Structure 1
């Protein structure tokens, strides 16, 4: 029998995760290399300066130093999140990676429900209290065809359920990948949790797209943490 220590993977220490986040962000955002240490030095220096004016530089410097670390960490977190979104923005399946952390009453399938093999347009489906949400990764101007076909399929299993269509992209009328999670989260509830679960159960029987999807996002790199999305 294998020992519990061998079966349970070791957690990565927080300082290693922090260093990984820093090096990842720095490789894609050169400003971070000097902005983070400058923030620590500047805020601490301001605290020491105030301390000299109040004739107690040691106390105010000691007080300013942890504040500088918190501000630097917030700055790094913001830049890290931005770098993550930029890393996956143009990759196939990026919207699924962004929506994966949404667990509160949301159901998102692992595979797209519709695929255009020529244009690589994808259509993902989610179910939550706002109803059904169709997330389109539109690389062409013909995503409407996939949406119309999916709506016809849904009319058989969820005729009276509200349907919201969101196109991901940077063109007019589309939602940037960095704002996708917040856009979905802000949709107004129209179903109870039990109704949403029942809709998901019925739609699961419909299945999804059976066409091959080109490989896009590496889930180990593309996963957006729930903490970064808050």
Structure 2
């Protein structure tokens, strides 16, 4: 897996990296995309022919263009969904996978990776956004209890009036699968607005100033994650 920073890549390079990543997980992806393009494109052509019967050459040209547009749009949608699924598959089980998933949150959210962790690499990430403060733990759920409780108390000292949500990533009961993490966080409500968010972030600096520099655990990070953010927006 390449360690190239997506921010240094062009849009074309990001798309190429995303395609390669998705194809590694789904080798049949090119055939799915081709089949989608032909099927939906054909349906689009038929629809335009039905809407513009007897329109001659102009009608035929419009039908061809319409079919191509329908086919391309459907192919892009299928590609985006498969690429997103492949990215999550690569993140699952990897140290720091939750932080990489949270990096896909849109503007208006502040994500701080690994604000706390232990020797066993259980870790806590922090998200500040409309719901308030969200503490996201990944690792052993039993060890995380202490880690999350300590962080919750620490944050409550400087932002007692701000809702603090605790989320544990995992596939067991009461946990949130990594593929559903972003959507789960976004659905926690809208309790903090505009200037209040700035005030919360300012007060949290007092906590961060007292921490030592924490190294982020290493692990394979899909180089295409930045390109996938746009595909996730609104979903």
TM normalised by structure 1 equals 0.80
Superposed displacement of residue 67, structure 1? 1.0
Greater relative CO, 1 or 2 (CA 8 Å, sep 6+): 2
Query: Relative to 1, partners in 2 of residues 1:221 and 1:63: Cα closer, same or farther, differing over 3 Å?
Result: closer
Superposed displacement of residue 212, structure 1? 4.7
- Equivalent residue for 1:215? 218
Query: Relative to 1, partners in 2 of residues 1:181 and 1:163: Cα closer, same or farther, differing over 3 Å?
Result: same
Which residue, 9, 12, 30 being the options, matches 2:10? Answer: 12
Does 1:113 find its partner at 2:115? yes
- Equivalent residue for 1:5? none
Query: Relative to 1, partners in 2 of residues 1:18 and 1:184: Cα closer, same or farther, differing over 3 Å?
Result: same
Superposed displacement of residue 17, structure 1? 4.5
Whether the 8 Å contact between 1:88 and 1:222 is mirrored in structure 2 is no
Which residue, 39, 42, 45 being the options, matches 1:42? Answer: 39
- Equivalent residue for 1:155? 156
Q: Which runs of 5+ in 2 are unaligned?
A: 1-6
Superposed displacement of residue 42, structure 1? 2.5
Aligned-CA RMSD value: 2.9
- Equivalent residue for 2:25? 28
Structure ranking higher in helix proportion: 2
Q: Which runs of 5+ in 1 are unaligned?
A: 1-8
